[in-house]
């Protein structure tokens, strides 16, 4: 701890009323997160196996996008739960990471890739509809399309590049925003990604909502295309059976992505509301980080249960396992 931070700790921090609850501590963040990772990892690996081995012929068009989306969702889940769990002193941009790989930039890259993979999932679904006039046919067109999305989303990663060189000054600036943080602020290796209060407000009020709206617009466009060509103006050239399969896949994708998106969006809304009402606490911030970490579990469950082929394979395996268990119990008896 630097001299100026030590002086702040002795003369200012001693007057603070500190949240000493378990949920406000780093243990309250890490222990539940690691527990969810223990539960989620086997489930995510099983989901990978189902996609690779149990995808029927009529789902081949979305197999690649499904694999990519599940990979990034699983990696984001692992990032939050074990690899680099972020302990954030919100609303400042001061934080430290706890995990096996404390690379602060990786979390932002994975988040951006996850968002783009969701766009790809719906785009591949809409492009597989022959009648869709907006479908992307050429590989070169698809590369340019996602490259442009990447270029727009890349500025969100500039925070990592623009970390203040003088971290002591940045930490003291952060204490003007959060004068009474938890003790971890002084005992852990805290990094300040951004210390300018004006830029922090710009990012929170404008930057993040604009980026979220941009990604949502692309997802909404492809969803709207699917709804139009599957429900509002279906082609007479497509058989009723094929149309039924297309609708089933579309509904499945909506559910498997919709539930995790709600899980990710709801905590942001809760934190924003708490911040506006001046009720934001470290315990609430940690709880939000934990909730972020369970989106991968829900995404895996949705993939297995929503898509009929995966659900049938899962129930078949489950039935065989139960039959073997009963047989072993009968033999032992």
Q: Which residues contact 174 (CB under 8 A, 6 or more apart)?
A: 89, 92, 93, 94, 192, 195
Q: Which residues contact 213 (CB under 8 A, 6 or more apart)?
A: none
| Burial environment of residue 331 by CB neighbours within 10 A (0 to 12, 13 to 18, 19 or more) | exposed
In sequence order, what DSSP letters do the residues of 164-202 get, joined into one string? Answer: -S-HHHHHHHHHHHSSS--THHHHS--EES---HHHHHH
> Which residues in the chain land under pLDDT 70?
1, 100-108, 154-162, 320-333
What was the pLDDT predicted at 60?
79
The C-alpha atoms of residue 89 and residue 185 are separated, in whole angstroms, by 8
Decide if 185 contacts 96 (C-beta within 8 A): no
Q: Which residues contact 318 (CB under 8 A, 6 or more apart)?
A: none
What was the pLDDT predicted at 17?
85
Give the other-Cβ count within 10 Å of 159's Cβ.
Answer: 17
Domains and CATH numbers, the chain: 3-11+22-332 (1.20.1070.10)
The C-alpha atoms of residue 260 and residue 294 are separated, in whole angstroms, by 8
**Structure token pair of residue 292:** 């972020």
Give the torsion sign (CA, 262, 268, 272, 278): positive
What was the pLDDT predicted at 45?
92
What was the pLDDT predicted at 105?
56
What was the pLDDT predicted at 103?
54
């Amino acid at each position: 701890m630097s001299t100026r931070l030590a002086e702040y700790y002795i003369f200012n921090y001693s007057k603070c009323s500190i949240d000493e609850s378990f949920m406000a501590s780093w243990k309250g963040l890490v222990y539940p997160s690691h527990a969810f990772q223990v539960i989620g990892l086997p489930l995510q690996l099983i989901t990978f196996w189902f996609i690779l081995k149990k995808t029927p012929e009529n789902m081949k068009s979305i197999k690649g996008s499904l694999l990519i989306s599940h990979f990034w969702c699983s990696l984001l889940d692992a990032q939050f739960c074990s690899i680099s769990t972020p302990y954030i002193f919100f609303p400042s941009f001061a934080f430290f990471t706890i995990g096996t790989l404390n690379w602060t930039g990786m979390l932002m890259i994975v988040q951006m890739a996850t968002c783009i993979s969701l766009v790809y999932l719906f785009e591949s679904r809409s492009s597989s509809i022959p009648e869709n006039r907006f479908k992307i046919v050429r590989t070169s067109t698809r590369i340019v399309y996602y490259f442009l999305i990447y270029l727009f989303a890349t500025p969100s990663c500039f925070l990592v590049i623009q970390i203040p060189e003088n971290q002591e000054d940045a930490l003291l600036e952060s204490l003007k925003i959060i004068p009474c943080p938890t003790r971890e602020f002084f005992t852990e290796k805290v990094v300040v990604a951004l210390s300018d209060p004006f830029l922090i407000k710009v990012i929170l009020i404008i930057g993040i909502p604009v980026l979220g709206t941009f990604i949502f617009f692309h997802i909404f466009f492809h969803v709207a295309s699917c709804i139009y060509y599957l429900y509002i103006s279906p082609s007479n050239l497509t058989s009723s059976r094929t149309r039924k399969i297309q609708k089933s896949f579309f509904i499945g994708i909506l559910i498997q992505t919709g539930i995790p998106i709600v899980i990710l969006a709801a905590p942001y809304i809760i934190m924003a509301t708490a911040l506006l009402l001046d009720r934001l606490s470290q315990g609430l911030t940690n709880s939000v980080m934990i909730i972020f970490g369970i989106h991968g579990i829900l995404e895996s469950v949705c993939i297995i249960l929503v898509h009929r082929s995966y659900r049938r394979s899962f129930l078949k395996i489950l039935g065989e396992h139960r039959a073997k268990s009963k047989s072993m119990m009968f033999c032992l008896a």
